[in-house]
Amino acid sequence: MVVLFVAQGAKRLLVVNLEGRMAATSGVRICLLIVLLLLEVIFAIQLQVSEGKTDLQLKVNNRILQESIIELINDNAQAGWKAAMNPRFTNYTVGQFMHLLGVKPDPDGDLKGIPVVTHRKGLKLPKNFDARTAWPQCSTLRKILGQLSDLYSYVFCQIRANAFCFSPFPCMIRLHLKYLKSKIRDIVVLVGLLALLRLCLIASAFTLAWLSDKPQISILVNDLLACCGVMCGDGCDGGYPISAWRYFVHTGVVTEECDPYFDNIGCFHPGCEPVYPTPECEKRCKKGNVLWEESKHFGVNAYRISSDPYSIMAEIFKNGPVEVSFTVYEDFAHYKSGVYKHITGDKMGGHAVKLIGWGTNDDGEDYWLLANQWNRSWGDDGYFMIRRGTNECGIEVGAVAGLPSTRNLIIEHGHVDVSRDASV
């Protein structure tokens, strides 16, 4: 009897022990299952992030020029433009190409108070217009800049833009760059060229007797680079075109007589990382007998132009070329001829260019005519056309301009009525 009782007790203990082990094993299995599920979720999230970067982040070291892109465009009868291996970007990677694109979207708060010009439809505009032929006296219109923030060569040189603006009195406007700062520099250079060009167009309407006494006018864009600061942009992270125009209006830029260009051999530039140091804003002229404040030359105003194509055309027809910015995609690096529209490739960044005219091609497609900053080995001798009237790549929503004042130039000589500044 005792033996039977002991045996039954041992059996119960064994059953309880087995049940405990089974419960423990089941708990471990549940824990392992939870861990595996968590790992699967984490892996899925990482995979999604990785896939999100695949289109752009994982190919920054690839060549920007691709035969596959050229074939895709040139074999497309509906593309409307031709692609080629532009020598400008031989050996460039996607990442290096992206470093050339420095226009940033304007913060909403910064656009408050900036007037938007809308031209009434009273002007009879031509079907085709090219500022280069409309104002042949201003050779700045035919100037194609080579964008010197070249991350491949890292070599920066002197830019000289000579414009013989007046006849029979030649006014040579020279644009010198002594200090260079990658992306923001390209925006500032474009503003400087357009300001000088518009000064040329405005002054062409005058009979300037004082030109025989002072045949050379020089405005130094170094002032913008050194003193505009964060108002104009963020260095290698890009900048805002309208801000450079506002600086020209509110602060003005000095002449070369105040801060002469003296570096004729260029300089070595290490690229955007680390950022090349901006020159110090000293606010004093190099020549002791010239005052900084008296050497300033100003703009009359800075404004945006309505995105209506007519307003943009009327602005160019009336006051000269404007600055526009647009979104650049991979295929744009391959542009050679025709009317561009985005076909393929990832978004690269924002870019500022000079809009000088418009027209309609033989196929009946409306286009804008623009001058780029990537030297004449790119595109159609440095120029390109882009589809007009459809806001292609945002080209029609970022037009900005300003009007330079002739007042400070004329007052120095006192021979001309100063009440004839341009207006919109």
Q: What is the pLDDT of residue 122?
A: 87
Is the predicted pLDDT of residue 206 greater than 70, yes or no?
no
- pLDDT at residue 83 greater than cutoff 80: yes
Q: Write down the pTM of the prediction.
A: 0.69
Residue 309 has pLDDT above 80, yes or no: yes
Q: Which long-range contacts (CB under 8 A, 24 or more apart) does 365-370 make?
A: 365/80, 365/339, 367/339, 368/324, 368/395, 369/130, 370/324
Distance CA 285, CA 293 (A): 9
CB 305 within 8 A of CB 117: yes
144-148, 290-294, 324-328, 415-419: range with lowest mean pLDDT: 415-419
Q: List the CATH code of the domain at 67-411.
A: 3.90.70.10
Residue environment code for 364-397, b if the CB has 16+ CB neighbours within 10 A, otherwise e: ebbbbbbbbbbbeebbbebbbbbbbeeebbebbe
Lowest mean pLDDT among 81-85, 197-201, 241-245: 197-201
**What pLDDT band is residue 47 in, cutting at 50, 70 and 90?**
low
Average pLDDT over residues 68-86: 97
Neighbours of 89 (CB within 10 A): 20
Stretch 33-37: mean pLDDT: 75
Question: Which residue carries 């400008």 as its tokens?
Answer: 88
| 162-166, 167-171, 257-261, 368-372: range with highest mean pLDDT | 368-372
The rounded distance, in Å, linking the Cα atoms of 324 and 90 is: 26
Tokens found for residue 165: 């603006």
Element (H, E) at 201: helix 182-203
What's the pLDDT score for residue 89? 93
Residue 270: predicted pLDDT: 35
Q: Are 317 and 129 a contacting pair, CB within 8 Å? A: yes
For residue 242, which of 390, 88, 100, 115 has the smallest C-alpha distance? Answer: 115
Q: What is the rounded average pLDDT of the residues 341-351? A: 95
Consecutive H or E run containing 19: helix 2-54
* Beta-carbon contacts of residue 32 (< 8 Å; ≥ 6 apart): none
pLDDT of residue 197: 67
- Bigger pLDDT: 249 or 171? 249
| Most confident range, picked from 160-169, 229-238, 330-339 | 330-339
- Domain assignments of the chain as residue spans, ordered by start: 2-54, 67-411
Q: What's the pLDDT at 366?
A: 98
Measured CA distances, 266 to 65, 273, 281, 287, 384 (Å): 29, 20, 20, 22, 29
d(CA 174, CA 8): 110
Grade residue 387 by pLDDT with cuts at 50, 70 and 90: very high
Lowest mean pLDDT among 205-214, 258-267, 283-292, 364-373: 205-214
CA angle 203, 208, 214 (to 5 degrees): 100
Q: Give the pLDDT score at 402.
A: 87
Is the separation of the CB atoms in 174 and 218 below 8 Å?
Answer: yes
Whose CA is closest to 61, among 88, 86, 98, 87?
98
Beta bridge partners of 22: none
- Among the listed ranges 115-119, 130-134, 201-205, 239-243, which one has the minimum average pLDDT value? 201-205
Give the DSSP per-residue string, 118-162: ---TTS---SSEEHHHH-TT-GGGG---B----TTT-EE---B--
Categorize the per-residue pLDDT at 171 as very low, low, confident or very high, splitting at 50, 70 and 90: very low
- Highest mean pLDDT out of 148-157, 180-189, 347-356: 347-356
pLDDT one-digit tens code per residue, 105-153: 666 556 677 899 999 998 899 999 999 999 887 777 777 765 433 322 2
Report the pLDDT value the prediction gives residue 178, as an integer from 0 to 100. 34
Q: What pLDDT, on the 0 to 100 scale, is given for residue 282?
A: 78
Question: What is the model's pLDDT at position 225?
Answer: 65
**pLDDT for position 391:** 98
Supply the pLDDT for residue 405: 78
Altogether, the residues listed in the chain come to a count of 424
Which pLDDT does position 275 carry in this prediction?
Answer: 42
Q: What is the pLDDT, as a whole number, of residue 157? A: 23
